[in-house]
Structure 1
Amino acid sequence: MYKKLLFQTNYIKFQQLPLFYRVWMPDKPKGLILLIHGAGEHSGHYSLMGMECLKRNIALIAPDLRGFGHSGGHRCHVHKFQEYLQDLHQFLIHARRQYSGLPVFLCGYSLGGLIVIRYIQHFFYEPTGVILCSPAIGIRYKIPYLLKRFAELTSILVPRLCLEAFESNKTLDKFRFQSRFPDWTAEMMKDPMIFKYTLRWFTELLRNGTKALKEASKFHFPALCLFDLDDPVVDSEKIQKFHETISSSDKANIVFSQGNHQYLNHHRALEQIFQWLSPRLCKKR
C-alpha cells in the first residue's frame, strides 16, 4: 500500500500560507502520530522520536506551526488561537487522504498540547488517542492582574508588538514578579529559528489555557498525559485538574518530579508512550 519511505519534508498550503512538515514513514505503518511542537521550537527537534517511531513501524508527521520554523506567517504570532486549530485540521485532512485506514494519534508538547486540547474541544474529529506532554494549560509564573490586563489591552491596539520573553524575565525579576526561566532556554535561544513572541500571541495563549480547563468535560477521547510536578514552565496543578476532569473512560498519566518540561526527547518517556500506544494500534478507523 505504501512505497518504501523513511524521511521526507514537504509543504502544504492553507489560505495561501505555506506550512512546512516533516514525515518519518516506515514501509508498512501500523499507526500514525501527528505531532505538534511547543513554543520556540520546530519539527526538526523531534528526529529522535521520528527514528524511534520508524523502529516500531509507526508513522510520524510533524508540522512547523505558523510563525515557527520553515512555515509561513508572522514570526511567533497569531491573531487568534483558532488559526492554529484550523492549521491542525488541514494537516489531519491531508494525513487521512494520504494514509487512510491507519489509527491516528494526536500528540502535543507544551503549546502543541494546548493546541491539541483546544482542537478536540472545537472540532468533531475523533482520533484514536491523544498524547499530551506538559500541555500549556497554564504557566507557572504568577503574572500580576494589572500587568495581565495591560498586556490584553495593548495586544488589541498593537497586536504585533513583541514581548521579548527571555529578556523581559530580567525586568520582571526587578519588580519581584517571581519569573524564572529554566537553564535549557539559554541553549534553545542559540537556535536561529527562535523568534520574538507578540503580545497578542501571549494573551491568546493565556486565554485559551483558561478555556481549555473550563471546557475539560468536552474532552472524551483516550488520553495519555505526561507532566512534571516541578515543571519550571507550565502549571502542573492545572494539568492535574484537567486530567482529573476530562470525561474519558480511558485515561492515564505519567508523572515525573525532576523539574523538567520536555519529555518527548527522553528515551524512558518515549518507551512509556509506546507501551501505551501498543494495544491501541490495532484499532482501525
Structure 2
Amino acid sequence: MLMKAALMETLLEKFYKNHQILHKESFMLNQQNMKIFTQSWRPYSTLQLKGLVAMVRYNSESSWLFELTSVAIAKAGFLVCAIDLQGHGYSDGLAGHIPNIEPIVSDCIQFFDSIKVDHPKLPAFIYGESLGGAIAILVCLKQKREWNGLILNGLMWEISAKFKPTWPLEKLLPVAAFLAPIWKIVISKPLASKSYKEWKRKLVVKNPNRKAPGKPPMATALELLRVSEYVRRHCHELEVTMLMVHGEDDVVCVYRSARFVYESAASEDKILKFSKYVASVDW
C-alpha cells in the first residue's frame, strides 16, 4: 500500500513537472474545527498571473478528474484553488452527509478569501461545475461584488423530472430525513451511464481513491432539494459578470434550468453558450 502511494506521488510530480505547474496541498481548520483538504495550482512563472480561479464541485474530491480542469486553467496563466467539501475526499465529515449547506458555503468562503488576501491585485473568478455551480451561486449571493466573475459549467440546480424519485418518496422526504437523517436513499434513477463521456468513465474507474457509488443520506437529499428551491427564488439577485456553458444533449442537468438562471440574473455582462456534449454530474 505504501509502495503504491509512493508511486502515485512520483507520477504526480512528473505530471506537474511536464505541465510546468506548481502544486500545493494542505489542511484548513474550519469554523467547526474540522480539517478541510485544500489544493492550489499555478504556472511556474507567477510574474504574469492573469487572475485567481476558485473551483467548486459537489460529491467529488478536488483531485483526479476535476484536477485536470484545474491544471488546464493554471496552464492558461491562472492561480487555481479548490477544496474537498465536508464528507468528501480527504476532508473530515460523515461521507456525503450534508444536512445544512451553509457550513459548506462558509468553508469555501474561508479558504477562497485566504487566497484572495495573499493576492489582492488579481481579479478573482469562481468556477462551479454541476451541483458545484449551485454552491458557487450561493457564495456569490453571500459575497456580492467580491467576485469579478462567475463561471458555471453544466449547472445543476434542478434535476430532470426523468430522474426524480417516484411519488410519494419525494413528498415523504422531510419526515424520513428527520427520523433517519443518515439513512441512504435512492434520490434518483441510475445516472452513471449519463454522467460522463466514455473516456471520462474509464478515467473515473482508475481513480485510486475512488469509492463505490453511494446513495445520498436522507438529510442530504432533502437539503439539496431545498438548495434548488433557494436558487430558483434568488438567482435574480446575481449581479456578477457571468459565463455559462451547458450541453444541449445533457439529459440530467437540464439546459432549460441553466437558461432560467441566465435570464433571471441581474448581471449586466452575461453569456450563455450551449454545446453538443453531455456534462458530468454529481449525483
TM over 0.5: yes
Question: After the TM superposition, which residues 127-166 of structure 1 pair with which residues of structure 2 at under 5 Å, given as runs?
Answer: 127-140=147-160, 141-163=163-185
The letter of the residue matching 1:47 is E
The letter of the residue matching 2:194 is P
The 1:50/1:121 distance shift into structure 2, 3 A limit, reads: closer
**Are the counterparts in 2 of residues 217 and 246 from structure 1 also a CA contact under 8 Å?**
yes
**Pick aligned residue for 1:48 from 52, 55, 68:** 68
The 1:149/1:247 distance shift into structure 2, 3 A limit, reads: same
Worse-superposed segment, 232-241 or 181-190: 181-190
CA–CA distance in 1 between the matches of 2:205 and 2:167?
Answer: 28
Question: After the TM superposition, which residues 19-38 of structure 1 pair with which residues of structure 2 at under 5 Å, given as runs?
Answer: 19-26=36-43, 27-28=45-46, 29-38=49-58
CA–CA distance in 2 between the matches of 1:59 and 1:24?
Answer: 6
The 1:41/1:139 distance shift into structure 2, 3 A limit, reads: farther
**Are the counterparts in 2 of residues 21 and 43 from structure 1 also a CA contact under 8 Å?**
no
**1:50 positional shift:** 3.0
Partner of 2:279: 261
Unaligned ranges ≥5, structure 1: 171-178, 264-285
The letter of the residue matching 1:148 is E
**1:83 positional shift:** 1.6
**1:202 positional shift:** 1.4
CA–CA distance in 1 between the matches of 2:38 and 2:124?
Answer: 17
User: 3-state DSSP class of the match of 1:47?
Assistant: helix
Partner of 1:117: 137
**1:114 positional shift:** 0.5
The letter of the residue matching 2:218 is L
The letter of the residue matching 2:27 is Y
**Pick aligned residue for 1:8 from 13, 20, 24:** 24
**1:206 positional shift:** 1.5
The 1:56/1:138 distance shift into structure 2, 3 A limit, reads: same
User: 3-state DSSP class of the match of 2:59?
Assistant: coil
Q: For 1:37-67, what per-residue CA distance to the aligned partner results, in whole angstroms no more than 9, with x for missing partners?
A: 2324433323322332333221110211111
User: 3-state DSSP class of the match of 1:205?
Assistant: helix
**Are the counterparts in 2 of residues 6 and 54 from structure 1 also a CA contact under 8 Å?**
no
CA–CA distance in 1 between the matches of 2:195 and 2:65?
Answer: 18
The 1:18/1:126 distance shift into structure 2, 3 A limit, reads: same
Question: After the TM superposition, which residues 73-92 of structure 1 pair with which residues of structure 2 at under 5 Å, given as runs?
Answer: 73-92=93-112
CA–CA distance in 1 between the matches of 2:229 and 2:249?
Answer: 20
CA–CA distance in 1 between the matches of 2:223 and 2:206?
Answer: 26
**1:74 positional shift:** 0.9
Partner of 2:17: none
**Are the counterparts in 1 of residues 37 and 90 from structure 2 also a CA contact under 8 Å?**
yes
Worse-superposed segment, 48-57 or 27-36: 48-57
CA–CA distance in 1 between the matches of 2:99 and 2:41?
Answer: 31
Unaligned ranges ≥5, structure 2: 1-19
User: 3-state DSSP class of the match of 2:127?
Assistant: strand
Partner of 1:94: 114
**1:121 positional shift:** 2.1
Instruction: Give aligned-pair identity as a percent.
Output: 22
The letter of the residue matching 1:255 is F
The letter of the residue matching 1:13 is L
CA–CA distance in 2 between the matches of 1:152 and 1:237?
Answer: 27
Q: For 1:69-98, what per-residue CA distance to the aligned partner results, in whole angstroms no more than 9, with x for missing partners?
A: 111111111120112111111112211222
CA–CA distance in 1 between the matches of 2:251 and 2:61?
Answer: 17
**Are the counterparts in 2 of residues 169 and 180 from structure 1 also a CA contact under 8 Å?**
no
Partner of 2:194: 182
User: 3-state DSSP class of the match of 1:156?
Assistant: helix
The 1:114/1:183 distance shift into structure 2, 3 A limit, reads: closer
**1:100 positional shift:** 2.1
CA–CA distance in 2 between the matches of 1:226 and 1:8?
Answer: 28
